[in-house]
Amino acid sequence: MKVVMIHTSPVSLNDLKALCKEIIPSVELVNIIDDSLLEEVKTVGHINPQIISRMCSYVQVANTLKPDLIFNQCSSVGEAFDIAKQQACCKTLKIDEAMAEKAVELGERIGVVATVASTVSPSCNLVARKAQAAGKQVTVNRYLVDGALDILMKGDVNRHNELVIKAIEKAESENDVVVLAQGSMTAILPLLKNPQKPVLTSPRLAIERVKKELGL
């Protein structure tokens, strides 16, 4: 079986490859990376026709590889993928879908912590849609750690972690469950001191969902 992943940054590539090797070792993984997508959506603040067009192109390229599933790695362009996936020849999955569903299961007040402004609305909208699909009323609260991902990509891991942990602790005090919108925040989990509420990240939940979708 084969999965094609569409990435907007190399930041999560190795972590996702490691999770795939652990959880779905028999599946062939093909990666498409275009880091201009994330830069453009961060600059513009939302998806635009150019981003949608490129995402559609990548789904079409993925189709030529005859995959069993096409996977979108980036929450910031998730709504562009929603449009592009209509052309997919196979199953599709966004990295944060399983996480959003679990958050809705676990609580009525859901805090979404993001390190990129362009991720906030798509992530919150996804949680709201999953709640609506589940027939559940939820309140989604936003916590933006603006610029933290840029700090991480420049190599200042400690400063990134410090800023994100502070936001997570605030979100934890005000919600039933906390959602970390960027997969790059997964490394924060071991650094949290005795969290009293569930703190969810997307990568492992997503790859476990891939396994389920592929019937493995």
State the pLDDT at residue 129. 95
Residues 6 or more apart in contact with residue 106 via CB below 8 angstroms: 176, 177, 198, 200
Q: Domain 97-201 falls in which CATH fold?
A: Rossmann fold (3.40.50)
pTM above 0.85, yes or no: yes
State the pLDDT at residue 183. 81
Closest CA to 207 of 29, 42, 11, 56: 29
State the pLDDT at residue 118. 85
State the pLDDT at residue 111. 97
State the pLDDT at residue 108. 96
State the pLDDT at residue 107. 96
Q: Residue ranges of the domains in the chain?
A: 2-95+204-213, 97-201
Q: What is the mean pLDDT of each run of 10 residues along the chain (216 residues)?
A: 94 91 98 93 91 97 98 93 97 97 97 90 94 96 89 87 93 96 85 91 96 97
3-state secondary structure 95-108: CCHHHHHHHHHHCC
**Do the domains spanning 2-95+204-213 and 97-201 agree at the CATH topology level?**
yes
State the pLDDT at residue 12. 84
State the pLDDT at residue 45. 86
State the pLDDT at residue 146. 84
Q: Are 47 and 79 contacting, i.e. CB atoms less than 8 angstroms apart?
A: yes
Q: Domain 2-95+204-213 falls in which CATH fold?
A: Rossmann fold (3.40.50)
